[in-house]
A and B are shown apart, each in its own frame.
Chain A
């Protein structure tokens, strides 16, 4: 096996390199305002993007390997480091897989608490994503500050429920760590009213604004068949007209008992992906209201039996960025033998790489196109 294959670039960190035939390679990241903790190598032919290569792995921590040395409760902590914005949704996939292995069904009240925390996290993750999306499209920088400020009441709620703003470590296999504190329901409902008012402001200022639409419509169109073939995940998949949402297709927690719709769009462009995220936040607000109304009483956790009843499990869950799935193989000990995590961003980065091959993308359209996918390098790197 040739191990020198990775030495593909003579000078990988030069900012602009001439490749000949009028092609230039532009190095975006890892120290660049739009890149995140990774790097995009954009090969341009004049103003047109010829090819994009995504270089991930700058924050690879080997979480899959670490999990082989942790038991199922200890595993919660390293796992949350995948996406700090969206910890509970990431954890949901793992917790589902372990509960499947042990044949445990969490108590009904725990399911409702999980649903509320998942949806709060989803709104906070989508707000952050939409702020970055607006910023990358060159929209008024105030939008990112608005969305960041509107995440605060949600983080406050999460702090009241779980004790931490981001890495809650609140879900454990078999339930949740604690019951809801007193008086939290009114507070959640008040926050939901506040968010709905803010969504109206967003619509006027930005989402349905003609200039913003001109900037992002028709940029980076992902057709339905290609979205499926390349394995796009989450809002990117739904914006291309595929009605897949793990909360609906493979319902978990309290989702089967609640009434909500899958948000889809048929255009498949950057605007559609942003729009799907925005509409999903409204759906999440609705889900939280229903969950609070129908919340049953009872215990919030169960203990796991000493031995798993199955050898392997594949569980899926819907995170803010799309579906995450966990394949766990165990030999019956308290630690997993192998955990395979396939996160949404890992799949979406591949889609970003392929897009310039099927259409003409201008260099100036690259940042909004990338951020419409809401990629998260730490998610993809594990």
Chain B
């Protein structure tokens, strides 16, 4: 199977309107689904040999008022990568975990939780991974959000003017 064939199968199964912004490249397939369909599509991908998560994260879009979550899954059978993306609301950022489908996304989802401030529902171990133990989300915020201001952090030895 090549990326174009998978795209055709996805459109046939989930309908043309649910597979948006699809783009086929050499060994890549990018597409976006509505959040309600994301777990169904993920299960379909898993059943079709997309078994190894290689990347996962999110992008903050304050202007559009959404956070875009992406999952990059490689197939050990077909040898190409699928990037599945979906939008969640920025006011109430949460989505259900994909651990049952791809166990390897465990730490990626933890990282997205702490760096982007997205609640991952059903994740068994949401505790700080990369940030310091005394990090306060209320005061300092989420580092990968666009409204986070890194310039408030000074170098320990003082800043040059």
Residues on A close to B: CB < 8 A?
1, 3, 5-8, 12, 56-57, 60, 62, 64-66, 69, 228-231, 242, 244, 249-250, 312, 314, 316, 323, 325, 327, 329, 337-338, 340, 342, 346-347, 349-350, 354, 381-382
**By the criterion CB–CB under 8 Å, are A381 and B130 in contact?**
yes
- Least Cβ distance of B75 to chain A in Å? 10
With contacts A229-B52, A314-B72 taken as known, whether A382 is within 8 angstroms of B143 at the C-beta atoms is: no
Contact of A327 among B70, B115, B137, B148 (CB under 8 A): B70
Q: Report Cα–Cα, A340/B70, bound state, in Å.
A: 10
**By the criterion CB–CB under 8 Å, are A60 and B103 in contact?**
no
- Least Cβ distance of A242 to chain B in Å? 6
**By the criterion CB–CB under 8 Å, are B129 and A57 in contact?**
yes
**By the criterion CB–CB under 8 Å, are A314 and B81 in contact?**
yes
Count contacts between A and B, CB distance < 8 Å.
100
**Across the interface, which residues of B come within 8 angstroms of A325, CB to CB?**
54-55, 72
Q: Report Cα–Cα, A327/B83, bound state, in Å.
A: 10
**Across the interface, which residues of B come within 8 angstroms of A338, CB to CB?**
59-60, 144
How many residues of B sit at the interface, in one of the four size bands? 35 or more
**By the criterion CB–CB under 8 Å, are B130 and A382 in contact?**
yes
Residue of A nearest to B60 (CB): A338
**Across the interface, which residues of B come within 8 angstroms of A6, CB to CB?**
127-128, 133
Residue of A nearest to B115 (CB): A64
**Across the interface, which residues of B come within 8 angstroms of A57, CB to CB?**
128-132
B110-126 vs A: 1/0 string, CB under 8 Å?
00000101010000001
With contacts A8-B127, A65-B150, A350-B106 taken as known, whether A314 is within 8 angstroms of B138 at the C-beta atoms is: no
- Least Cβ distance of A245 to chain B in Å? 11
- Least Cβ distance of B111 to chain A in Å? 8
- Least Cβ distance of A318 to chain B in Å? 13
**Across the interface, which residues of B come within 8 angstroms of A69, CB to CB?**
150
**By the criterion CB–CB under 8 Å, are B104 and A337 in contact?**
no
- Least Cβ distance of A308 to chain B in Å? 14
**By the criterion CB–CB under 8 Å, are B79 and A249 in contact?**
yes
Residue of B nearest to A242 (CB): B76
